[in-house]
């Protein structure tokens, strides 16, 4: 019987919770679905606790969901490396750990887990080796992506089943827990998780002018000051509400990962940002609008358009234009139509977009999941 494989995942928490959110989902999935001994090294446990409250921010070592969570201190204490080492998003491994890796025989499988992109070059670079300039080690670049030649998307094996059970049986209780009534027949419920965005006031204006009720649910975060300014109030915090025209705003407490998944499953439309929430929204099988992390010289526009190329493939022209227009306007691209026209086009094709969101979720499953592909890649290197 083969001994349990050991994995170390290193995560340097930068901001916005995305890096630790992905690293935590990955660590849990590896332990739960593949029976691996996983250590997750994190430099900021307090931020980690925001997305997973069971984490103790002061513990050097703790076990949570079958994962050994370790505080990543500087200087780094001597530690025997695992058989597989995942460097999340180029976070740079501690030098003492690297030296220990170089002394192992055979050396660990060293994987740099990259950020997700739908751009065409991803498949060409996926899995490429990069020898260390000083040490007898090789790092492999592992790119998540949307085609079979990439690392796939991060998802748990049971995510579809849990979503289906929630939609069938769990939504009324979820709304009650949030202090909301069951949606009216003609009501649109939207979740809004976003970076600061100059397009936000215009979006709120069109929602306020919509002929049907729009309820916007906003987890505490970076857009709260913009919402307060739009409502002309001094500030907003969890539990506060605001109304203008057809639009009712509700500010929600910051949510852990499982609660946020349920919010995505429950809403008719999800505005998401960055990588982790974008992927979760796609697995939610609901319409979404993605805001890429803003980059210098608007380099993020290429990322948005690359994902749109995949996402709208097979859609009729009118529906694809409606999806493209709202995404591009939300990301600040210089397109011909303003927010009122973009929202009207989206509303006119809403039913088709909803059907597409469900079909898209099924298509993603054919590419394979990041967890399974990562394990397969590592096992092939360990042979």
Q: Residues with catalytic annotation?
A: 19, 275
Cβ distance 38 to 30 under 8 Å? yes
Q: How far is residue 330's CA from residue 199's CA, in Å, rounded to a whole number?
A: 6
Give the whole-angstrom CA distance, residue 209 versus residue 231.
Answer: 15
Asked whether 199 and 339 are in contact (CB, 8 A), the reply is: yes
Q: Let me know the angle formed at the C-alpha of 369 by 287 and 82, rounded to the nearest 5 degrees.
A: 135
Q: Residue 352 to residues 189, 269, 355: CA-CA distances in angstroms?
A: 17, 13, 5
Neighbours of 309 (CB within 10 A): 15
Cβ atoms of 140 and 112 closer than 8 Å? yes
Give the Cα separation of 153 and 276 in Å (integer).
Answer: 10
CA distance 281 to 270: 7
- Residue 250: partners with Cβ closer than 8 Å, 6 or more residues away: 178, 180, 215, 216, 217, 218, 240, 241
245 and 164 in contact (C-beta within 8 Å)?
A: no
**Rounded to the nearest 5°, which phi and psi values hold at 159?**
-65, -40
DSSP letter at 113 equals E
For residue 241, what are the contacts with CB-CB under 8 A and spacing of at least 6?
Answer: 248, 249, 250, 251
Residue of 48, 38, 65 whose CA lies nearest to 12: 48
> How many angstroms separate the CA atoms of 104 and 101, rounded?
5
Kindly list the distances between the CA atom of residue 232 and the CA atoms of 138, 226, 243, 300, in Å, as whole numbers in the listed order: 56, 10, 11, 31
CA distance 348 to 346: 5
Closest to 261 (Cα-Cα) out of 282, 275, 241, 240: 282
Strand partners, 250: 217, 241
């Amino acid at each position: 019987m083969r001994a349990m494989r050991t994995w170390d995942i290193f995560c340097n928490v930068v901001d916005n919770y995305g890096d630790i959110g992905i690293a935590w989902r990955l660590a849990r999935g590896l332990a739960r679905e593949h029976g691996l001994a996983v250590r997750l090294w994190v430099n900021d446990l307090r931020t980690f606790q925001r997305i997973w409250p069971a984490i103790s921010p002061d513990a050097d070592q703790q076990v949570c969901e079958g994962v050994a969570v370790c505080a990543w201190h500087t200087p780094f204490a001597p530690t025997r490396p695992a058989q597989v080492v995942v460097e999340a998003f180029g976070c740079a491994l501690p030098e003492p750990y690297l030296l220990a890796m170089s002394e192992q025989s055979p050396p660990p499988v060293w994987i740099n887990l990259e950020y997700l992109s739908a751009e065409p070059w991803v498949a060409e670079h996926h899995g490429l080796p990069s020898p260390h300039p000083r040490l007898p080690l090789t790092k492999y670049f592992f790119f998540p992506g949307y085609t079979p030649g990439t690392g796939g998307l991060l998802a748990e094996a049971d995510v579809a089943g849990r979503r289906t059970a929630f939609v069938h049986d769990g939504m009324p209780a979820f709304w009650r827990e949030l202090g909301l009534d069951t949606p009216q027949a003609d009501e649109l419920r939207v979740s809004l998780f976003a970076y600061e965005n100059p397009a936000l006031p215009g979006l709120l204006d069109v929602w306020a002018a919509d002929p049907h009720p729009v309820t916007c649910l906003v987890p505490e975060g970076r857009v709260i000051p913009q919402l307060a300014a739009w409502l002309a109030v001094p500030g907003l915090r969890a539990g506060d509400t605001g109304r203008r025209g057809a639009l009712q705003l509700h500010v929600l407490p910051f949510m852990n990962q499982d609660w946020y998944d349920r919010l995505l499953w429950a809403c008719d439309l999800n505005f998401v940002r960055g990588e982790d929430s974008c992927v979760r929204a796609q697995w939610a099988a609901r319409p979404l609008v993605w805001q890429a992390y803003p980059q210098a010289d608007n380099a993020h526009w290429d990322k948005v358009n690359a994902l749109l190329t995949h996402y709208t493939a097979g859609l009729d022209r009118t529906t694809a234009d409606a999806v493209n227009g709202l995404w591009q306007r939300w990301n600040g691209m210089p397109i011909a139509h303003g927010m009122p026209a973009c929202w009207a086009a989206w509303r006119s094709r809403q039913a088709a977009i909803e059907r597409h969101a469900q079909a898209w979720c099924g298509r993603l499953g054919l590419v394979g999941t990041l967890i399974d592909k990562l394990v397969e890649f590592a096992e092939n290197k360990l042979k």
